[in-house]
Each structure stands twice: as C-alpha cells, then as structure tokens.
Amino acid sequence: MLRFRDCAVDVAGRVLLRGGVPQHLEPQAFDVLALLVDQRHRVVPKEEILDAVWGGRFISDSALSTRIKEIRRATGDDGDAQAVVRTVRGRGYQFVAEVGSRVASPAAPTLVGRDRDVEELLDRLAPGSLVTLVGTGGVGKSTLAREVVRRAAERRGVAWYIVDLTVLDDSAQLLPAVARGAGLVDDGPDLLAKTLAGRDVIVLLDDADLLVADVAALCDAVAAAAGVATIVVTCRERLGVRAERIWPVLPLSPDAARALLVARARDAAPLAMLDELPDSTLDALADSVDRLPLALEMLASMSALLDVPELQVVVASSASAVTTGRRDAPERHRSLARLVEGSLDRLASRDADALVTLSAFAGAFATSDAVRLLATDDALEVLRSLADRSLLSPVEGRGGRRYQVLRTVRRAVDGRTSSARRAAAAGRHAVLVTTLLEAADADLRCEREAQGAVVFDRLADEARAAHTWARDVDVDLAVRLTAALHLYAYSRMWAEPSTWADALEHRTDHPAVVVALASQAAQESRLAEARTRALDALERGDERVRAAALEVLSDVGIYEHRLDEAATWASRLVESAAASGAVRDRAIGLSNRALAATYAGDAAGAAAATAAILETPEDGMAPTERAWLAFARGDAYAALGGGDAIPCYGSAIAISDSVGSTFVGGVSRCSLAAAVAETDGPMVAAAYFRDVLDTYRERGNITHLTTALRLVVPVLAGIGADETTCCVAGWTLGPSARPGLAGDIARTRATLDVVRGRQPEPDVERWTTRGSTLTAGEVAHAASVALAAAAS
C-alpha cells in the first residue's frame, strides 16, 4: 500500500483511504489515479491517459477533467493547491505528492464517517432556523453537532455558543444556563427568547433528554420571535414544535465504524493492534454494538485488557460490563447498558409493551409488517412514538421506509422482560412471517412474481428467526414455513433454508421437509439422495409437494443424462398441472421435457415445442417460467447450430434478472458463454464464464458448477491457460464429477490433445492428475483466476 499525505492507496485492492476512512472513487477515476501514481516520475500526457483508461474511445477533455477533480476531492487536494495532482498546461498531469511505503498514523479524527451529515446540516443552519439532531444514545449527536456549529459559525462569520444541558439538575436551571452560555441576562422566558432571537448567533443546546418539554417551550418562543438566531438541539427525541427541522443521526457505516474503532484503539490501546485484524472480524465486533461511536470507543478502551473474542463474549453476556474509560463521561454514557436505560424508564406502558413485541423482529422491518405484528388500532401512533424517541432506528438504503430495534436496545428490553413475554412475542412474529411468506409464495407462481420476490427479500432475516423458534416450539408452523420457502430458495439458489429443513427433519419426516432436502441435494450433486428423497415425498405428499417432487426427479434425470426418465417425470408434471390448473408446474414440465428431447437428439422437436408456447404464453405464467422456456429453446437452437441460440439465452437472462431468479439466470449465462465462445472466440467468453463460476462456487451449487467447468475447458485452452485447462479437465473427467454427456467428454479429451500439442506430455499428465484430486470449488477458483488474468 502506497501512502502520501494522510492518504493510502491499494492499487491491487482498488481502495483509497484518507485519514483511515475509505473514499469513494468512480472506477475510471481510480484508474487515472493508479496510472498517475505508477508514473509519478513524469508528466503523463492526456492522450496516454485516455488510451490507458478509456481504451482509445473518443472522450472529451472535460470528462478527464472531471475525473481529476474527483481525485482531488477524495485526496483533500484542490485545483489551487495542486498538492497531489498537478496540471501541466498543454502537456498533461503529474502526481506530485511525496510517496512513502509507511508514514506515521494520523491522529484519531474527531469526526469519522459523517461527511454527508455535516454537509446536509450546514445547508439547514440558515439564520432563524431550529434544527434538532435526534438519535439513540451513543450515536454521536453531540460530537457531530459541535463540529457543525463551529463550521457554520465560521462560514457565516457569527458567534457560536454551546450550552451543555447534561450538568443541569432541574428545569429551573435551563434559562439561567442559556443566558450565561449566550452572554445574555436572564430577564424571564419571554424577554430572553426575544433577545436571543434578535442576535445573529448559533446556539447549541446539547443533550436535552431530561428537559425536553422546557427546551421545546424555549425554542418555540425563540422561533415565534422570528429573529435571526440559529438554534441547534441534540436529543433522543424530537421537540415537537412547529419550526423544528429534524436530522436523524444514524449508526456509522461499516467502513466508518471500522475506521473509528481502529483509530480509537490506536490511542487507547496501541498494543491491541486492531488494525492488523481482518475487516470481517472488526465488522462483526462493530455490528455487535450497532456501530454506535460511543460504544466503539468503549470497545477500543477495553481492547487494552481483552482480545476480540473476549470482547464479543462480554458484549453478548452483559451490556453493563461494556464501559467507558473516560472519567469525565456523564453518568448515562458510562456503559453500553446505560445508553438506553433512561429512554426505557420514561416509556409509557403501552409503548413499552409494543417495544417488547417489535424486538421479536430480527432485522429491519417495514412499517406495514410492524402494524400487523402489533395488531392494535393505535399501532401507527405507537410506532411514531417509539421512532420519535429513537428507540426505533431508521435504516437507509433498504427500499422504502424501514426501521430496526438496535441490538443495544433489544438487550436492554430483554433484560427487563420475562421469558414468557419474549416467547409470546416470538410466536406472534413466527406466525406473521409464515403467513406473509405463504402469500408471497402464491405470487411467485404467477405474473405477480416480482412482488412476491420483494417480500421474500424483505423477510429473509425474519424467516431465519421464525424458523429457529418454530422448529423448537411449533413443528407444524415450521413445516408450513419450510413449504413456503421451498420455491423461492430453489429458484434463487438460496441454500440456507435447506439447513433449517435439515434441523427440522430431526423433529418430523413431513413430506414438505423431505422434498426441500431433495431439492438441495439435487443442487449439490448428491443425485442418488435427491432421487430417493423425491420418490418418498412423491408417495406421501399433497398436491403441492408431489409437483415439487416431480420437478426434482425430472431435474435429476437431466443431470444424470437418464433422458427417457427425465422426460417421463416431466410429462407426469404436465399431467398433474392439467388437473390442478397450476400454470407454473405445466411450464416447468414442458421446459424439462424440451431439454430432455434436445439432449436425446430431438432438438428440432424441442425448438418447435418451446417456440409455440412462448409465442402464445398462458395467462398467469410467472416470468421465471418464461425464462426457463426461453432457455430450453436456446439449448435446442444451440444443438441445431447457428446463431439463433444467443438471442434466446439473452431473453432468458433479461427476464430472470428482472425478478432476481438466479437459477435460470445462471444456467442461461453459462450456455450463453459457451455459445459466445463458438461465435466470438474465447477472450470474449472469458468474462461471461468468470461470473458464472464465481456465482455457483459462492452458492455451493456443485451440479451446475460441474456443467460450467465442462464448458469452460476449451475457453481456457483458447486463452492459453494450459495448466489450468488440464486441471479443470482432470477434475471433470475424474471420479468426483457427475457423469457427463458423451459430447462433453469428447470435447474435453480433444482439448487435452490440443494442449499436448504444445506442452510436454509429463506436464500435461501431472496437471491433469492434480486436477482430479482437487475439490470443485478449488478447480473453479483456479479457472476464475485464469479467466481474470486473461481479461486484464
């Protein structure tokens, strides 16, 4: 990592840090920076930059200038100073900052990860405004407010005052404290408010939690005077006055939380060396305290005594044991537990009961879901009350209005709640989640698939929590939830629900559980197990389970190239769908029957059958099923030869991407990559294959990873990656891989013969033998690395 000024750049990892905090750069801007750093000994002409970064495409000078400005912004430079990148008129640009491999760590920043908050608040602090920073205890409202007030006062050239309300014992001290802090005379509330309003100053009323009503009355009077004074308030709840503008202060982003934790530990516990730990370890530790700045400072201080695993144990077992090392900290900021205890103490019983119920949510939840869980006429009012008190924290970037109960709050609530009440809330939550997912499952099977998928995406964390509770307490509910999850998990290659079904199997042998496990076994290339389980479910299950079992049996027949068997099971699925009216099952049966026909040699019949269905699709057919038909049509055209397959695969990919259907999207990309390799050559196909291999490897889908590895062998040979070609070929021909089509095997052996023509036979034999000893994941990783090297 190269360091300059207060920045560090990792070219290989494409990361730029400034003051320890990651800075965003658009890809082309980062490429320009990397080039200038690498060639810092000279002025790099504009033409050379354009060729290197944009590949010779016509790009205007303004586009390059924009990237240079972005680099300067991210590195703390500007066009006047030009201390990092210097413009040499008429020639180009040069990187001029002094570069060293190591520099002294910068002092821990006062404010980390709050750039957006600062900029937005500075825009809001106009003369005469009242702005309240609200947020849970420990989120950093005071630190942010003090910095914003200072900057705003400097920008406007006015005086600024801080009134620390934490030192006040009762409301009678408020007006005298404000008068002293702002250099005024306490002439009573009305005159003080008018006098304050008439002064062009910025006043921060910091930490108004214990004096909310009195601070609200004072601020309302100042606003009514219609003056020019700017009032900033920090509080855990909004004041509730007309002139108030709210700015919610949220927990830090993962990057900022990690940077703050490391920076504070560097000061408080330098021997802990947290900066040497993996990011994932630091992220887990920061998440355990909701990425609250004050809590992160507590952990940093405690890291002098405890290592990270010990810290995690302490956080999970006793929030009271997580304490600050600061002697001057206010009483309610001295431990993790005390950050929220005051807020809970002041809750009405109605709101306290609701918070217990809402704590059953595992993650962020939609307002509509919370209303259904509370199931009271005043549910919206209760939610507003809890949100106003920062006991529900808004969540950014999740699509729509979302809230969460922070871990810090949940721990405090659990400590005050009986196990029976917590269990009752968990049960209500599990029933609600199951009901919502059953309705969403019905949507997945028709033209409303996109809406159904959104519900599953939204409730993934909740499904995990609900299933964990139900399989221990209410097995019948766990079976219902397993059945509701089946199609979504199978079509999106989401493996986790299969582990829940596996745990549930120890409690019941219900056919819905058996067929879920059969589906996952089919994806993981445990094909004999998949067939056995599917046959069991077919014999004992209801109509929905039998259809799922027929789908698995047909899939397994295709994977094992028992094509007559696959066609038979697919036809039975079509017949079953005709009786039940299930449009989805009919489409899947027709798709699998067409695929079996193609692989058995009747590609022309398969192409005609799928074309007829796609040209007159049935009402109510889900997008995923149309994508499967398009994929089957593409495979038929590919077998017939010519370029007609590529548009079919492209259509399947576009449709599947529109609803997030990973399964059909993945197989379509794999077949498209193979088709592109035939028409446009291996270099073009390399990028397609890399994405497919990485997706299957990450999701543990060994069945389709095997297919992708067989298809990528000639592409690897075509880009000259001979050693990797032999390794992959050795694995696909070895005992670990499921049986392949005769054509696939012949193509792989022919590719090995090509490599033998340019490499010594002992090397080819050694590489091939080594490949047969590797796992599918290891082989796929080697192939991905080779493809990436070719692309670069």
Q: Which band of pLDDT confidence, cut at 50, 70 and 90, is reported for residue 649?
A: very high
* Contact (CB, 8 A) for 76 and 25: no
pLDDT (mean) for 295-319? 89
Q: Are residues 474 and 559 in the same domain?
A: yes
What gap in Å lies between CA 106 and CA 437, rounded to an integer? Answer: 50
Residues 603 and 610: their CA atoms lie apart, in Å, by 11
Quick: pLDDT tens for 176-234.
Answer: 888 887 777 777 888 889 999 999 999 999 999 989 999 999 999 999 999 999 999 99
pLDDT recorded at residue 106:
37
pLDDT of the residue at 556: 96
Cα–chain-centroid distance for residue 470? 26
Q: Could you identify the residue written with the tokens 């066009």? A: 79
What is the pLDDT averaged over residues 253-271? Answer: 89
In a domain, 311, yes or no: yes
What residues are paired with 335 via a beta bridge? 323
Are residue 278 and residue 397 in the same domain, yes or no? no
In a domain, 669, yes or no: no
562 and 473 in a common domain: yes
Q: Give the count of domains, the chain.
A: 6
- For residues 462 and 591, state if they share a domain: yes
Strand, coil or helix: 204: strand
Residue 498 covered by a domain: yes
Single-letter amino acid, residue 772: S
Query: What is the mean predicted confidence (pLDDT) over 305-317?
Result: 89
In a domain, 553, yes or no: yes
Beta strand 393-394 with 402-404 is antiparallel
> Mind listing the pLDDT tens digit for each residue in 68-98?
998 998 888 888 888 899 998 888 999 988 8
- pLDDT at site 104: 36
Do residues 549 and 515 lie in contact, with contact meaning Cβ atoms separated by under 8 Å?
Answer: yes
- 110, with CB counted inside 10 A (0-12, 13-18, 19+), is exposed
CATH of the domain at 603: 1.25.40.10
At 400 the pLDDT is 65
* One domain for residues 413 and 549: no
Q: Per-residue pLDDT tens for 740-788? A: 777 788 889 999 999 999 999 999 999 999 999 999 899 999 999 998 8
Q: How confident is the model at residue 565 (pLDDT cuts 50, 70, 90)?
A: very high
Whichever domain contains 139, its CATH number is: 3.40.50.300
Co-location of 618 and 739 in the same domain? no
Mean pLDDT of 291-316: 90
- 600 occurs within a structural domain: yes
Is 432 within the bounds of a domain?
Answer: no
**How far apart (Å, rounded) are the C-alpha atoms in residues 37 and 85?**
9
Tell me which of 221, 248, 275 is where a domain ends: 248
Mean pLDDT of 502-521: 96
Q: Across the strands, what pairs with 164?
A: 206
User: 555 and 468, same structural domain?
Assistant: yes
Instruction: Give residue 7's domain range.
Output: 2-100
Band of residue 107 on the pLDDT scale cut at 50, 70, 90: very low
Alpha-carbon distance of 656 to 667, in angstroms, equals 11
The last residue of a domain, from among 227, 248, 269: 248
The mean pLDDT value for 551-561 works out to 95
Three-state secondary structure call for residue 681 = coil
CB 300 within 8 A of CB 269: yes
Q: Is residue 266 scored above 90 in pLDDT?
A: no
Q: Cα(204)–Cα(195) distance, rounded to whole angstroms?
A: 16
- What contacts 24+ positions apart, CB below 8 Å, involve 63-71? 64/32, 67/26, 67/28, 67/29, 67/32, 68/32, 68/93, 70/25, 70/26, 70/29, 71/25, 71/29, 71/32, 71/33, 71/36
- Please tell me the least confidently modeled range out of 167-181, 509-523, 638-652: 167-181
Whether 332 and 353 share a structural domain: no
CB-based burial of residue 743 (10 Å sphere; 0-12 exposed, 13-18 middle, 19+ buried)?
exposed
Same domain, 450 and 574: yes
Helix (H/G/I), strand (E/B), else coil: 229: coil
Q: Using 50, 70 and 90 to split pLDDT, how confident is the model at 110?
A: low
Non-local (6+) Cβ contacts of 677 within 8 A are 684, 685, 711, 714, 715, 718
Examine the fold and report which residue of 248, 271, 288 is the final residue of a domain before the chain moves on. Answer: 248
Q: What is the CATH number of the domain that holds 86?
A: 1.10.10.10
Asked if the structure places residue 437 within a domain, the reply is no
Question: Are both 729 and 758 inside the same structural domain?
Answer: yes
- Let me know whether 143 and 177 are in one domain: yes
pTM assigned to the model? 0.77
Count of CA atoms in the C-beta half-sphere (13 A) of 612: 8
131 touches 125 (CB < 8 A): yes
Residues 751 and 776 in one domain: yes
430 within 8 A of 459, measured Cβ to Cβ? no
Q: Quick check: is 506 in a domain?
A: yes
Residue whose C-alpha is closest to residue 336's, from 354, 323, 355: 323
